Amino acid sequence: MDKSQAIHAFWSQFGLEAYDENTVPDNATMPYITYEVSVGSLDDLINMTGSLWYRSTSWKEITNKADEIAEAVNGQGYYISDIDNRGHLFITKGVPFYQRMSDPADDMIRRIYFNLNAEFLSS
């Protein structure tokens, strides 16, 4: 698996469609996840961002999903092995970890924006 595939695998594990933020299809329906593909060299620490997108009158469901993502990187972080047959991906929480955002054009859209740290570690 290459670095971009590893990032996609991380975001795809939460039971929602996950899209590189530049490839969301026009017919995508909420809820879904978008993420930025930021790839560095082995042993580089990079910032990685993602967003949960829900259409709802409540923050409850999206916050529950955000908590699920938090749990995945809680404590020791999240680890994916065998990147490019040379290393590993280690994901930890950034600061601030997540924040709620609204859409002024549509008061039904709920978005939670994540900051994560990703490090591609050599074997």
Give me the pLDDT at residue 120, please.
82
Give me the pLDDT at residue 86, please.
76
Q: Residues of the chain whose pLDDT is less than 70?
A: 40-42, 123
Give me the pLDDT at residue 83, please.
74
| Alpha-helix runs per DSSP H in 23-92 | 60-73
Tell the CATH topology of 3-122: STM4215-like (3.30.2000)
**Buried-state track 74-107, b at ≥16 Cβ within 10 A, e below 16:** eeebbebeebeeebbbbbbbbeebbeeeeeeeee
Give me the pLDDT at residue 26, please.
94
Instruction: For residue 31, say if its preceding peptide bond is cis, omega within 30 degrees of 0.
Output: yes
Give me the pLDDT at residue 113, please.
97
Place of tokens 């609204």: 102
